[in-house]
Structure 1
Amino acid sequence: MSLTNAHPAEIWLVDDEPEIRSILRDYLVHAGYICREFEHGEAMLAALAEGGQAAEPALILLDIMMPGMDGLEVCRTLRERSKVPVLFLTARHDEFDRILGLKLGADDYLVKPISPREVVARVEAMLRRIQWQGKKQEKVSSPLQLDHNALEVRIDGVLLTLTVVEFRLLATLNEKPGRVFKRNELINAAYDDHRIVSDRTVDSHIKNLRAKMAEAAPKRELIQSVYGMGYKLVPSS
């Protein structure tokens, strides 16, 4: 997928060889990306400085062997102001150069001659990894930590003593924070034996769950009721 946050990802190509830029641009555009080309690293760094963080691309394809500032120096300078992912394109087979590039802040590299299809595949893999890491960090930053194997819940590191039903209710709400779950959805999630349970029973469990969470984290109100609908989890509150 070339989409990040529902918009086509922008890739910057930095290479002094027009033919290579043209081929890679065609393949990346065909794959759904937006591409911007630079003949040398100084021009790319100037564009980055002029546009600021808002103008940063999703990823930079950076050649190492270029006149003026080589790719290693460009990457070193880039890392002083940006964390944008960098994929090196290098004609060097020397292991020292590749390790040095990674130490300077590059995220990956490809050795020339390169396959345009492999470049596209590597770009897609890097962007997927970045998106996954972002989602993982969002989960880690949540005040709730659920252990489904031990049926344990911590809020801001404080262990809650919950019943199985309360754990299932909270786990269901936590699956999609911000979404309103109807009472019948919560009933089906909390009871796996298809017993008949009234809305008042669910309300009672939610009330007890809220009380336990409020005792552990008095300043947070994570479970909110939506009148006439049900309940939702707001972990950022």
Structure 2
Amino acid sequence: MAFEVLVVEDQKDISGIVEKYLEKSGYIVTVAENGFKALEIFGEKPFRLVILDVMMPGIDGFEVLSELRKFSNIPVLMLTAKESEVDRIKGFDLGADDYVVKPFSPRELVRRVDAIIRRTYGQNEEKRLKAGEIEIYLDSMRAFIGGKEIELTTAEFSILFVFMENENVVLSREQIIQKSFGHSYEGMDRNIDSYIKRLRQKIEDNPRSPEYIVTKYGAGYLFRRKEV
């Protein structure tokens, strides 16, 4: 079961980034562009966490949090540009569970969300990543394409995980080795090419014309999702 998260943020560039990173980590995300909309749709889905911007037009995040606390104990992570201790204390006094100050690291935000979910729901759900039709489960090291499981070796799974964690980023062979196997790897850099060739045979519709793992000549490889 994937957890539903409500993101309340009036700046589309920020909400877009948050949505992308949360969905990549397996969450189902709904975005509300203001506090009024958030309160309107709150009961429409089984939300398990709210990411709530403080500075919004019409009704600010503190007011939204105050209204939510009248009928729900859902965990709330406040997202704000305010840095003063007074504002943080106000949020906690109203019932916020955590605070992230802009500008923020999307990866840190996801980790904080993970921590709140584990703490609140005691969930033991397996961590997963999804990109297009590809979905991988980290603890069991299982991989699926379009819902059909594919068999990967440990090395292939590690490389695929690194690619999916670094979507749309060109990685050199050396970077792939370091991120996948660490500094103890004793193979040759060109061995990565063989791993990637076998990986393409398992995940690509046409390995000779790959859509997921693309070669960037002179630089390395890039992973991108194939939209479905």
TM-score range, shorter chain: 0.5 to 0.7
Tell me which amino acid in the other structure corresponds to 2:103.
P
Shift of 1:74: 0.5
Q: Residue 69 of structure 1 is aligned with which of 59, 63, 73?
A: 59
Query: 1:15-61: CA deviations, max 9, x gaps?
Result: 00000011111101010110000100110101124x3xxx3311000
Whether the 8 Å contact between 1:56 and 1:84 is mirrored in structure 2 is no
After superposing on structure 2, the runs of 4+ consecutive aligned residues of structure 1 that deviate more than 2 Å are none
Shift of 1:81: 1.2
SS of the counterpart of 1:35? strand
Determine the C-alpha separation between the residues in 1 that align with 2:11 and 2:26.
23
Query: 1:125-152: CA deviations, max 9, x gaps?
Result: 000111239xxxxxxxxxxxxxxxxxxx
Q: Residue 122 of structure 1 is aligned with which of 107, 112, 130?
A: 112
Q: Which runs of 5+ in 2 are unaligned?
A: 124-228
Q: Is 1:12 matched with 2:2?
A: no
Question: With structure 2 as the length reference, what TM-score do the two structures score?
Answer: 0.53
SS of the counterpart of 2:29? strand
Question: With structure 1 as the length reference, what TM-score do the two structures score?
Answer: 0.51
Query: 1:64-88: CA deviations, max 9, x gaps?
Result: 0000100001100110011111000
Q: Is 1:88 matched with 2:109?
A: no
Q: Residue 41 of structure 1 is aligned with which of 15, 35, 48?
A: 35
Tell me which amino acid in the other structure corresponds to 1:30.
K
Determine the C-alpha separation between the residues in 2 that align with 1:118 and 1:23.
13
Equivalent residues, number: 124
Tell me which amino acid in the other structure corresponds to 1:104.
L
Q: Which runs of 5+ in 1 are unaligned?
A: 1-6, 134-237
SS of the counterpart of 2:47? coil
Whether the 8 Å contact between 1:65 and 1:71 is mirrored in structure 2 is yes
Determine the C-alpha separation between the residues in 2 that align with 1:78 and 1:121.
24
Q: Is 1:79 matched with 2:79?
A: no
Determine the C-alpha separation between the residues in 1 that align with 2:28 and 2:103.
23
C-alpha RMSD over aligned residues: 1.6
Query: 1:191-233: CA deviations, max 9, x gaps?
Result: xxxxxxxxxxxxxxxxxxxxxxxxxxxxxxxxxxxxxxxxxxx
Determine the C-alpha separation between the residues in 2 that align with 1:24 and 1:93.
20
